[in-house]
Amino acid sequence: MINKSRLEALSDAIIAILMTIMALQIEVPTGIKLSSLKNPIIYFIAYIVSFTIAMAFWYNYHCLFAKVTNISKRVFWLM
């Protein structure tokens, strides 16, 4: 049997690393013109959508683990 808490910690760490890498990819615009924000706003919206999707995966994974009691090797490899 595989320890449930260790698998939960692994999935939490993977999501945390994913979100950190996503946040590091955001470029801060230089300049104070409103037109300079036009192009980065598209990337910011894409980041928000990606962050929301990653958060939804993490939440669903968390709900799944709340119902699981034992994790076999077969279930581990399916996850």
- Tokens 């939490």: give the residue: 12
Residue 71, classed as helix, strand or coil, is strand
Mean pLDDT of 23-36: 72
Is the pTM for the entire model greater than 0.75?
no
| Spans of all domains in the chain | 4-78
Residue 70, classed as helix, strand or coil, is coil
According to the model, what pLDDT value does residue 46 have?
Answer: 86
Backbone angles phi and psi of 2, in degrees to 5? -100, 140
